[in-house]
Amino acid sequence: MNARSALGKYGETLAARRLTDTGMAVLERNWRCGRTGEIDIVARDGDVLVVCEVKTRRGGTFEHPMAGVSPEKAQRLRDLAERWIQQHGGAPPGGVRIDLVGVLLPQRGAPVVEHARGVA
């Protein structure tokens, strides 16, 4: 595993912990759909299915992690959510929501984890 993928995995672990701490149930991590892409975290928030993109950045010169979802990425997440639903028995009664968790790892101090609901 290279440093970049290790950083991403660490950020996803922090994000999953944040989601479960807020009462959500993590159903799956790193769900892949062929060449279409990957959903970082699939979770349930009550009767809502949540497709969650995780962006992890080290403190410094990179853009803030919450700025990391372009309109194209948002559309890809919606498409992946549809495929996940098709493979897992249909949409839940509460529908589907796309969230973003941004993880910022400062050079000193604790990681900062931000959760934005319904970003796309």
Alpha helices by DSSP H, the chain: 3-21, 71-87
Strand order in the sheet with 25-33: 25-33, 37-45, 48-58, 96-105, 112-116
- Is residue 2 pLDDT above 90, yes or no? no
| Model pTM score | 0.90
Report the residue count for the chain. Answer: 120
Domain count, the chain: 1
Q: What is the pLDDT of residue 61?
A: 57
In this predicted structure, what is the pLDDT of residue 59?
75
| AA identity, residue 109 | G
CATH number for the domain that contains residue 57: 3.40.1350.10
- Give the residue numbers spanning the domain of 7: 3-116
